[in-house]
Amino acid sequence: MKLIQVIPTYNEAQNLPILVSALFSLKIPNHHILVVDDNSPDGTGQAAEVLKKDYPDQLYVLHREGKAGLGRAYIQGFRWALDKGADVIGMMDADFSHPPERLPALLNALTTADVVIGSRYVAGGGVDRDWPIWRKALSWFGNAYARTILGLPISDTTGAYRLWRRSALEAIPFEGSRSNGYVFIVELAYLATLAGLSFVEVPIYFAERTRGDSKMSLRIQVEAATRVWQLRRYYRAKTVIDRQEMKETGDRTIEP
């Protein structure tokens, strides 16, 4: 089984070498990492190239010309991983908020599901204990908000620590995503739900980064809340169009 983890980076030069070492120390067979760097001014891309020399058959780098958004980074990374024959495609942040040591548990859970999510909001999971109450409440509300509006069958809708079976990722039109920022993570879950894919959530402890600066802001959170409604309207309208096309063409292979 070939696992390729896609890790988007922007200004993560302090974290990336430590993260890569921690992941490969797990000794998971046929484990590979693809770093997708947005021309980080702190030299993350160059650090990734140095790491390639230490892990020549396991670590790869895609260099993008500039900061073009999380969604596009994942889309390019997913396509690369599929083209390289990945059986399992992983998603992960580079800032250690996603504990590397939980990766084997996620892999084990993939035997019973199409998509596995490292979840903060199931029994045994949690967020940084030092977060102020308002931040914990905002995180919980953001997940509940997206879950309710889109009818998602998962507790952690915005968590990006995920593993996909190849067949699961190929079952959704991820390359036609309507989102490019952090709401892309929610859109993927929505597409998987519409496709009837199965989920399992594995508890993780989501720690605050200790190196580098957070990319999250209030503007991003407000944008994500707005985009959730846009996603719902778009995909509901698309379903109506698909049904109409099925009636007009007589094509019974199209699923509503």
pLDDT, residue 218, reads 52
pLDDT, residue 239, reads 55
pLDDT along the chain (256 residues), means of 10: 97 96 98 97 97 96 91 96 98 96 98 97 95 87 91 95 98 89 91 96 91 56 72 74 39 31
Chain-centre distance of CA 62, in angstroms? 17
* CA quadruple 66, 70, 72, 73: dihedral sign: positive
Q: What is the pLDDT of residues 9-38, one digit of tens each?
A: 999 999 999 999 999 999 999 999 999 999
Domains of the chain, CATH where assigned: 3-212 (3.90.550.10)
pLDDT, residue 69, reads 86
Percent of the chain residues past pLDDT 90, beyond the cut: 70
pLDDT, residue 157, reads 94
Q: Secondary structure of the chain: what % helix, strand, coil (to 5)?
A: 45, 15, 40
pLDDT, residue 139, reads 84
In sequence order, which ranges of 4-88 are alpha helices (DSSP H)? 16-24, 44-54, 70-83
73/92 Cα distance (integer angstroms): 12
Query: Is residue 138 within 8 Å of 158, Cβ to Cβ?
Result: no
222/228 Cα distance (integer angstroms): 10
Angle, CA of 156, 159 and 162, to the nearest 5°: 105
In sequence order, which ranges of 55-96 are alpha helices (DSSP H)? 70-83
Residue 117 φ then ψ, to 5°: -120, 130
What is the reported pTM?
Answer: 0.88
pLDDT, residue 202, reads 98
pLDDT, residue 248, reads 42
Query: Is residue 231 within 8 Å of 150, Cβ to Cβ?
Result: yes
Which residue carries 């019973």 as its tokens?
Answer: 112
Q: At 49, list the tokens.
A: 């190239």
**Which residues, other chains included, contact 127 with Cβ-Cβ below 8 Å and sequence gap of 6+?**
120, 136, 139, 205, 206
**Which residues, other chains included, contact 123 with Cβ-Cβ below 8 Å and sequence gap of 6+?**
203
